[in-house]
Chains A and B, each alone.
Chain A
Amino acid sequence: MNLPWILLFLPLVVAAVCQLVLRKSAIVPLVATASAVATLVISFLLLGKTGTSAFDWATIGEFHLRIGIQLDRLSTGMMIVVTGVGALVHIFSLAYMKDDEGKARYFTGLAFFMFSMTGIVLADNFIMTFIFWELVGFSSYLLIGHWYQKESAADAAKKAFLCNRVGDFGFMIGILMLWGITGTLTFGDMQIPAAVSTATLSAAVLCIFCGAVGKSAQLPLHVWLPDAMEGPTPVSALIHAATMVAAGVYMLFRVQTSLGFEVFEELQASTVIAWTGGITSLLAALMATQQDDIKRVLAYSTLSQLGYMVMAVGFVHGEAGMFHLFTHAWFKALLFLGSGAVIYACHHEQDIWKMGGLRKKMPITTIAFGAGCLALIAVPGTSGFFSKELILDAAHEAGSPLFWIAAFVAVLTPFYMTRLFVVAFLGKPRSENAGHAHEVGPLMWVPLALLAVLAIFSGYSFINPLSPALPHHAGEFHLNLVAIVSLAALVIGVGTGWILYAGKDKDPVTIPLFRNRFYIDGIYDNFIVRYFQDALVAIVHFFDELVINGLMVGGLSRGAASFGNLFRKVQSGELQGYAFACGLGAILVIYFMVFL
C-alpha cells in the first residue's frame, strides 16, 4: 500500500520544495509537470486495486481521526480523471504561462491543488474529505487570484472562497449529524440505525449536500464559478471544469454508496437534490445563451452540466452522474484549453464577437474544439451522448417533470454551443487581434488533440475500465422515447443556433434577463451583502458602541477614572496611578488571604 501514499504526498512534497527551495527557479514548471505525469502513471498502476490504509492523525483515548486511503473503482477511476486532466493541463500551461512573471508561483499552486484534489478522491472518512475539501478551496483561491494586482481577479478569488465557506458551514453540520447518527466517520462502516427517523436523516443529508452546492456551484451558491474565470485559463480547465467542481458530485456519490441507495430512495432530501440540480442546469443554460465572453459561456455550460450530474444523484442514479462526470471532464477540459489556445492566439481577447474566422488560422484548435462541442451537445456516437442519455433515462424513469426540464436544457446546450462555435470560429475576423491569430505550438495542441480523442471515445466500453462508475448500459443505444426526445432537442438546438447566428457580426438577440444572469449577482451584492449584511454589521456595531462600550464600560471606566484620579493625586504621577489601580487586585488578595 505504498503506492497510493506516494500518489497522495508526491504533489505536496513537490509544492513544498518549489515554494521553499526552488522559489523562482526556471525549473519549477518542469518539476511540477513531471510530478503530474508521475501521478498519472501511478494512477494507471492503481487501476483495479482495492483496499484501505490509514494512520492516526488525532488520537484522544479511543477516539481517532484518521488520514486514510480507500481504493476502489470509484476512487481509482476518479484519480485517472484528476491526474489525466491534471497532467495535460500542466503540459499546456508550460506554453500558456511561459511569459508570466509569476509562473513559479502558478506551478507551485497547481502542484498544491493536485495534492488537495487527490486527498478528496482517496479519502476514506468524512474528516479527511473535509480537510482536503477546504484545501482545494484554498488552492482554487490562490489560482483564481494568480493575477492578484488586478482588482477583479482578487475579488473573484475572495468570492469563490466565501461562497465555498457558506456551503461548508452546512457540510460541517451534516458531517457532525451523520457522525451522531451512524457513530462513525469512516465511509466503509456507515450503518443507519433503525431508530433514527428519516426526517433527521434527510436533514443530515441536506446539510452534507450544502457542501456540494458550494463546491459544485449549484444554485444559489453558483455565483462564484463564472467569476472564477478571472484565473488563468488552464486553471479553469483543471479546477473549474473537470475536477474540483465535480468533487461535490463525487462526494455525494460516495455518501450515497456508503449509506446505501435504498436509504436514499426513501429520503425527501433526494427530491430536493434532484430539483436543485435540475433548476441549476436550466437557469445556467439560459444564462449561457447570452454571454459574450468565451470563457463565461463555458463556465455557465459547466454549471448546467454539473446540474445534470447533481440531478442524477438526486434520482438515486449517482452512477449515471459519475459517468457523466467522467466524460464531461475530458470534453470540458478540452473546450477550456481550446478557448485558452484561442485567447492566447488572439492576444488575450475573450469576446467572441471580436473573434471570427479562426477556422482558417487555427485549424488544429478548431477541429479539437469542434470535437469538444460535439461531445457537449451530445451528438450520437460521442461520449457526451451516452452519458447524457443515462441521465435523461434516470429522469424519465423517475417520472418526474424534471425530465422535460432536462430535455429543454438539451435544446439549449446545442443552441449556445452552436452560437459560440459559429461566431468565434467561422465567418471573417472581426478584430485585428483575431486577424493576426495563428496556430499554437505543439505543447498546446498535443494536449488538445489527446483530449479530443477522449471527448469522442470516453463513452465507449473499451474505455470503461478507466471510468469511476459503470452504469449497466453504458455505450449502448436504444431507440426509445428518451432517445427520440434528445435527438429532436439536438436538431432543434443546432438548427436555431445556426439560423440565428450564421454570418452575423453582432448578437441579433438581446434578452437582458439572461444576459444579466437573472440579476442574481446583483441581488446578492446589493441586497444580501450591502443591505442585509452591512446593515446588520452596522446595527451590531452601533449597539456595541452605544450599549456595551458607551453605557456599561464608559460608565464603569468613568467611575473608575475618578477613583483612579484620587489615587493619582495622592501618589502624583501617571505611572504610579496606573500601577496602583492595576495592582489593586494583588493587594486585595494579600489582604484577604493573610489578614482575614
Chain B
Amino acid sequence: MLALLVFLPILAVLAILLGAPARLTAVSASVANLALGLFAAFSWKCSCWSLSLPVLEKPALHLAFGFPDGMSVIMVLLTVIVTLAAVLSGKAPEGREKLYFGSSLLISGGALGAFAATDLFFFYAFHELALIPTFLMIGMLGRGDRKEAAWKITIYLGLGSIILLAGLVWLANLTGTYDIAGMIAAKGSVDPAAQKSIAALLLVGFGTLVSLFPFHSWAAPAYASAPAPVAMLHAGVLKKFGLYGLLRIAIPLVPEGLNAWIIPLLVLLLGNILWVGYVTISQKRLDTMLGNSSVMHMGYIFLAIAALIAFPENPLARPAAVLLMFAHGVSIALLFGLADRIERTTGSLDLSDLGGLAKSAPKLAFVFGIAAMASIGLPGLANFSGEVLVFLAAFKSYDATAGLGPVQIACILSIWGVVISAVYMLRAYRKIFQGPSVKSTEFAADLTLADRIPAVLLVLALFAVGLYPNLLLNLLK
C-alpha cells in the first residue's frame, strides 16, 4: 500500500502531462494521499504496508517500501500534509499550470519514496528525483534572480549528493547489501577507520542537503526565489531528508565514526543557530528572512542528533529530533505560503514597503501571527514541544558533579537562538502588520475561503502536536 502512496503523485503527474486538468488532478491526488497517510498513521504496524520487488540481481536491488519504525510514518504524514497545503496555496502563472502542479507533485512523490524506501538505492534515488523538479521550478518560474538562485542550489545540492553518494556506496560495499535493515545488521563489518571517513562523508553530504553551516548559503536565495509550493515543499519536507538520513543510516551504522566528529558538529550547528541567526536579523525582506530562519532552525535538530551521537542511550534525542522536524516542516510551509499570499496582495515583501496590514487583512494577520509564534517556539504550538525536548535531550547526560560537557555548553549557547528568532520574527511582524497602514496595505485583500483551507490544515497540525505532543510521540514507541 505504501507503493500506492508513493506512486499516486507520480501517476498524477503522468495524468497531468496527458492532459488532465492540472490543479484539480494535483488537489485530488493530494487529498487522496492525505487520507492514505492518516490511515497509515493508525495502521502502520500492519505488514500490508511493506512491499519488496526485486529489480536487479547483482547487485541485489529491490524496489522496497516499508515502515521500519514510527519515524518514517511521521515523515510521510508531514509530506502528505504539506503537499496538500502546497498545491492549494500556490497560484500558477498563466499557461504554466502543468509544470507548476506537476513539479509539486513530483517533489512530493520523491520525498515520499525516500522516506518510505527500505532499500538504500531507492532511498537515494527518490530524493534525487525530487530535487530535479525543485531546480527546474526555481530556474523557470522563480522570482528575482532566479537563474543565479537555481544554479547555486543545483551546484550545492548536486555536490552534496555526490559526496553523500560516495559515503553510501562505501557503506553498501562494506556491508554487502543495499537493504537498509540488512546493512544495520551487518554493521560489524564497518571497521573503525572506515567509520570515521564515512561519517565525515555522510555529515557533509547529508549536512549540505539540510543547509548545515557553512554549506547553507544556497538556501535563502533559493527559497526567496522559488514559487510558493516549491519553497513549502523543499523547506518543509524535502530538506528533512538529510536529517532523516542521518538518523536512519548514519547513526545506526557509524556511531563511533560520528562521535569522532562531535566537536566540529557542535561548532557547525552553533554556526547555524548563532551565525545564521544574526544573518537572519539583518534581512530586509520577508522571503530571505524566512529562508535564513529555516537554515537557523536546522541547528536545533542537529543539536538533538549531536546529543544522540554523544550519548547513544539517550532516549529523548531521537523523538525530539523527529518532533522538531515535523513541527518545523509544518510551520515553515505555513510561513512561506502566507508570505506568497502577502506578496500577491501587496506587491512587495520588502519590510520597509509594508505596514499596518492587520487593519485591512485581520485574518491574514491572525494566521501569520500563529505561524510566527510557532516559529518563535511559543508553547501550545508544535515547535515548542520539539525544542524543549531537544534541550532536555542535550541535558540528559548532564552530570551535576562533573560539570557541563560540550553538548550542554552547545545547548546553552543555542538557547540564545530563541531570543534571536524572537527578535527577527517580531520585527517582521511589527513591520508588516502593525503600525499605521501604508499605501501598499491600505486596501489589501484578506484571506479568502480558498486561502484559508491550506492555512487551517497546517495550523491544525501545529496545534495538535503543540497541545498534545503524545499524538506523535505515541507513534515512536
Contacts and interface: CB of A to CB of B under 8 A. Distances in A.
B379 A538 contact: no
Contacts of B380: 131, 135
Given A58-B470, A154-B434, A176-B391, A593 B152 contact: no
A458 to B, nearest CB: 33
B217 A582 contact: no
B132 A586 contact: yes
Given A58-B385, A585-B162, A176 B392 contact: yes
B422 A130 contact: no
Interface stretch (B88-96, B153-161, B187-195, B236-244): B153-161
A570 interface: no
A583 interface: yes
A153 B433 CA distance: 13
Contacts of A538: 282
Nearest to B213: A548
B139 A176 contact: no
Contact of B422 (A58, A61, A161): A161
Contacts of A162: 419, 422-423, 426
A13 interface: no
Nearest to B388: A127
Contacts of A177: 395, 398, 400
A179 B378 CA distance: 21
Contacts of A594: 56, 59
A552 to B, nearest CB: 7
Contact of B356 (A62, A149, A158): A149
B427 interface: yes
Contacts of A134: 378-379, 384
A40 B275 CA distance: 48
Interface in B345-401: 356, 358-359, 373, 378-380, 384-385, 388-389, 391-392, 394-395, 398-401
Interface stretch (A77-85, A297-305, A410-418, A554-562): A554-562
Interface in A236-262: none
A575 interface: yes
A537 interface: yes
Majority secondary structure, A binding face: helix
Interface stretch (A166-174, A394-402, A422-430): A166-174
Given A58-B473, A154-B430, A557-B155, A195 B401 contact: yes
Contact of A583 (B121, B132, B217, B388): B132
Nearest to B214: A548
B392 to A, nearest CB: 7
Nearest to B148: A557
Interface string B330-349: 00000000000000000000
B435 A578 contact: no
A581 B315 contact: no
Nearest to B216: A548
Nearest to B134: A582
B416 interface: yes
| B: interface residue count bin | 35 or more
B263 interface: no
Given A541-B282, A586-B128, A158 B430 contact: yes
Contacts of A189: none
A181 interface: yes
Contacts of B434: 145, 148-149, 154
B453 interface: no
Contact of A575 (B140, B411, B423): B140
Contacts, number: 208
B139 to A, nearest CB: 5
| A: interface residue count bin | 35 or more
Contacts of B59: 593-594
A374 B61 CA distance: 85
A173 B392 contact: no
A584 interface: yes
B101 to A, nearest CB: 17
B319 interface: yes
Contacts of A560: 151, 154-155, 158-159
Contacts of B430: 154-155, 158
Contact of B217 (A150, A166, A548): A548
A180 interface: yes
B464 interface: no
A166 B421 CA distance: 12
B281 interface: yes
Interface in B126-169: 128-129, 131-132, 135-136, 139-140, 148, 150-152, 154-156, 158-159, 161-162, 165, 169
A166 B217 CA distance: 28
A405 B470 CA distance: 51
Nearest to A533: B281
Contacts of A155: 430
Contacts of A154: 430, 434-435
A326 interface: no
Nearest to B147: A574
B260 interface: no
Interface string B435-476: 111000000000000000000000000000000111001101
A462 interface: no
A588 interface: yes
Interface string B98-110: 0000000000000
Contacts of B388: 65, 127, 130
Contacts of B419: 162, 165-166, 169
Contacts of A588: 162, 165
Contacts of A6: none
Given A538-B282, A582-B158, A176 B398 contact: yes
B279 A541 contact: yes
B373 A172 contact: no
Nearest to B423: A162
B262 interface: no
A99 interface: no
A209 interface: no
A553 interface: yes
B20 interface: no
Given A131-B380, A154-B435, A537 B281 contact: yes
Contacts of A150: 435
B473 A59 contact: yes
Interface in A168-199: 168-169, 172-173, 176-177, 179-181, 193, 195-197
A561 to B, nearest CB: 6
A138 B378 contact: yes
B14 interface: no
Given A60-B315, A180-B398, A581-B154, A541 B278 contact: yes
Nearest first, the 3 A-B pairs at minimum CB distance are A180-B398, A585-B161, A154-B434
Interface of A: 56-63, 65, 127, 130-132, 134-135, 138, 145, 148-151, 154-155, 158, 161-162, 165-166, 168-169, 172-173, 176-177, 179-181, 193, 195-197, 200, 533, 536-538, 540-541, 544, 548-549, 552-553, 556-557, 560-561, 564, 574-575, 578-579, 581-586, 588-589, 592-594
Interface of B: 56, 59, 61, 121, 124-125, 128-129, 131-132, 135-136, 139-140, 148, 150-152, 154-156, 158-159, 161-162, 165, 169, 172, 178, 214, 216-218, 275-276, 278-279, 281-282, 315-316, 319, 356, 358-359, 373, 378-380, 384-385, 388-389, 391-392, 394-395, 398-401, 403, 408, 411-412, 415-416, 418-419, 422-423, 426-427, 430, 433-437, 468-470, 473-474, 476
9 contacts: A58-B473, A127-B388, A166-B419, A169-B418, A172-B415, A176-B408, A179-B395, A544-B275, A578-B154
Given A130-B379, A177-B398, 6 more contacts: A60-B315, A134-B378, A176-B395, A552-B214, A560-B155, A564-B151
